[in-house]
Amino acid sequence: MNTLTGPRPRTGATAADIQAHYDIGKDFYALWLDPGLTYSCALWDGITGAPGNTDLLAQAQHAKLRYHLEQAGITAGSRLLDIGCGWGSLLRTAVEETGAGRAVGLTLSADQHAHVRSLGLPGVDVAVQDWRDHEPDDGYDGIVSIGAFEHFTHQGMSRDERIDAYRSFFARCAGWLPPLGRLSLQTIALTDDTNHEDSVPDFFAREVFPGSGLPRLSEIATACEPYFAITRLREDGADYARTLRGWSSRLFQAREEAQRLVGPDAYLRYRTYLRASEIVFMRQASTLYRITLRRRPERRRLGPPSGGQAFPQ
């Protein structure tokens, strides 16, 4: 606690915000996500055909998971942290395919936590825990965070406030990694031509992802600077448009069951959000970044953000 100003103001989505979106029910998401329940942009390199096809969607999601594990340097015996682990597809891939020795997942969703536990994966631990509260006994060899960064700030924060919040995230990640350890981050971002105040981001913040807001690439670069070097950057907005087209066509095909599970209003809200998001990516108002970051061996001269932690030596 900051004794001058009282408790640190909350930034980004709370557990209640997250649960409002993710805990509508796994059975509903299972109707239109791939069988592994990966809920983020897939990687469509070299994959052609209708994105709503179950096998192709699963293939593209699997390619994305393997990409991030490789970028984070996860190999046999590695210790992995997955920040925003969803329903556990990356954790499963890490222990079953890469041979990771330990894979820890953090989520704010009770439903996701229950599901990951029910998988009974050896070497996997999952907690309903905000990364801000995570205090592991040991460090990690690599960190992956896919589709969670969008929840770390909320609409209405200034650029400086967002950078401050993101810098706290990078400071904590750096503290859990060895020098030169890698963080593989995937996030939606606003492009330079889009304002936070635009009606479309507003719609998402109000109707779909309460308490959340999108970063810009320059904010990420500024925020990570004292702790990480960016070693690889992919801009894959077209991949997200394609993933969304797949999800939305699958949801439409399953519309009767979907409405039975969540009711007509929620069905319509999701369908609108998936279609609108596809258009946003096609028009390049938002884009998708996959960013590989390598922990700096030493702290740079820039100070930590207010409330952030010092860089561990």
Ligand X SMILES: C[S@@+](CC[C@H](N)C(=O)[O-])C[C@H]1O[C@@H](n2cnc3c(N)ncnc32)[C@H](O)[C@@H]1O
d(Cα 280, Cα 87) in Å, to the nearest integer? 26
Kindly write out the interface string for residues 118-147 of this chain, putting x where it contacts ligand X by CB under 6 A and - elsewhere. Answer: ------------xx--------------xx
Contact between 217 and ligand X by CB under 6 A: the answer reads no
For the CB of residue 65, give the shortest distance to ligand X in the complex, in Å.
Answer: 8
Among 83, 103, 104, 121, binds ligand X (CB under 6 A): 83
Among 98, 107, 286, 287, binds ligand X (CB under 6 A): 107
Largest CA distance in the chain: 58
Strand order of the β-sheet with 79-83 is 124-128, 102-107, 79-83, 142-146, 182-190, 286-295, 228-235
Contact between 274 and ligand X by CB under 6 A: the answer reads no
- CB closer to ligand X out of 89 and 292: 89
For the CB of residue 313, give the shortest distance to ligand X in the complex, in Å.
Answer: 26
> Would you state the structure tokens that stand for residue 57, as one six-digit string?
């969607």
- CB closer to ligand X out of 133 and 298: 133
Taking contact as CB under 6 A, which single stretch among the options 51-59, 83-91, 197-205, 262-270 is the one that binds ligand X? Answer: 83-91
DSSP secondary structure of 223-269: HHTTTEEEEEEEE-HHHHHHHHHHHHHHHHHTHHHHHHHH-HHHHHH
Burial 274-302 (b: 16+ CB within 10 A, else e): bbbbbebbeeebbbbbbbbbbbbeebeee
For the CB of residue 134, give the shortest distance to ligand X in the complex, in Å.
Answer: 8
3-state SS class at 2: strand
Beta partners for residue 216, in sequence order = 190
Contact between 106 and ligand X by CB under 6 A: the answer reads yes
> Would you state the structure tokens that stand for residue 43, as one six-digit string?
């990687």
Q: Do 138 and 124 meet the contact criterion of CB atoms below 8 Å apart? A: no
- CB closer to ligand X out of 78 and 186: 186
Among 59, 93, 98, 112, binds ligand X (CB under 6 A): 112
- CB closer to ligand X out of 25 and 297: 25
Among 51, 73, 84, 201, binds ligand X (CB under 6 A): 84
User: Across the chain, how many H-helices and E-strands are there?
Assistant: 11, 7
Taking contact as CB under 6 A, which single stretch among the options 45-53, 104-112, 175-183, 251-259 is the one that binds ligand X? Answer: 104-112
End-to-end CA, the chain = 24
Q: Do 161 and 308 meet the contact criterion of CB atoms below 8 Å apart? A: no
Kindly write out the interface string for residues 146-185 of this chain, putting x where it contacts ligand X by CB under 6 A and - elsewhere. Answer: xxx--x----------------------------------
* Binding to ligand X in span 9-38, by CB under 6 A: 13, 18, 22, 38
- CB closer to ligand X out of 136 and 297: 136
Beta partners for residue 286, in sequence order = 190
Beta partners for residue 83, in sequence order = 106
Residues that bind ligand X (CB under 6 A): 13, 18, 22, 38-40, 83-86, 89, 106-109, 112, 130-131, 146-148, 151
